[in-house]
């Protein structure tokens, strides 16, 4: 397991734990049964962990792309301009016919 994945795992577990604690605190105030409070807290913690891990995998996948791009052109060809300037004599005009 590489260091980036370990860091993501620890960060995501911590954020899921904190999110679960906040949910537990808020749900204990509400007049709900203990089973529903525990179920909702676990569901919030698991979903937070899953979503943050998914985002980290997408970010890792995007960072590992072979060719860095800026919109639709490579970064190393910033001066490349696909628009070609035409001479005015080459244009066909209706008023010259």
Rounded mean pLDDT of 11-33? 88
Rounded mean pLDDT of 68-95? 62
Average pLDDT of the chain is 78
Closest by CA position to 10, among listed 43, 23, 26, 1: 1
CA distance 41 to 24: 6
Quick one: tokens of 74?
């490579």
With a cut of 70, say whether residue 80 has pLDDT above it.
no
Confidence (pLDDT) at 64: 77
Strand duo 69-70 + 73-74: pairing: antiparallel
27 CB-contact burial (10 Å; exposed 0-12 / middle 13-18 / buried 19+): middle
- Looking at per-residue confidence, does 94 or 49 come out higher? 49
3-state secondary structure 58-79: HHHHHHCCCCCEECCEEHHHCC
CA distance 51 to 46: 9
Report the 10 Å Cβ neighbour count for 45.
20
Domain boundaries, the chain: 3-67
């Amino acid at each position: 397991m590489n260091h980036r994945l370990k860091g993501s795992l620890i960060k995501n577990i911590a954020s899921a734990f904190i999110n679960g604690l906040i949910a537990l605190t808020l749900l204990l105030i509400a007049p709900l049964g203990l089973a529903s409070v525990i179920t909702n807290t676990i569901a919030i913690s698991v979903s937070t962990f899953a979503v943050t891990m998914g985002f980290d995998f997408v970010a890792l996948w995007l960072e590992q792309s072979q060719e860095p791009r800026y919109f639709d052109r490579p970064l190393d060809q910033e001066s490349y301009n696909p628009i070609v300037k035409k001479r005015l004599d080459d244009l066909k005009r209706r008023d010259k016919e």
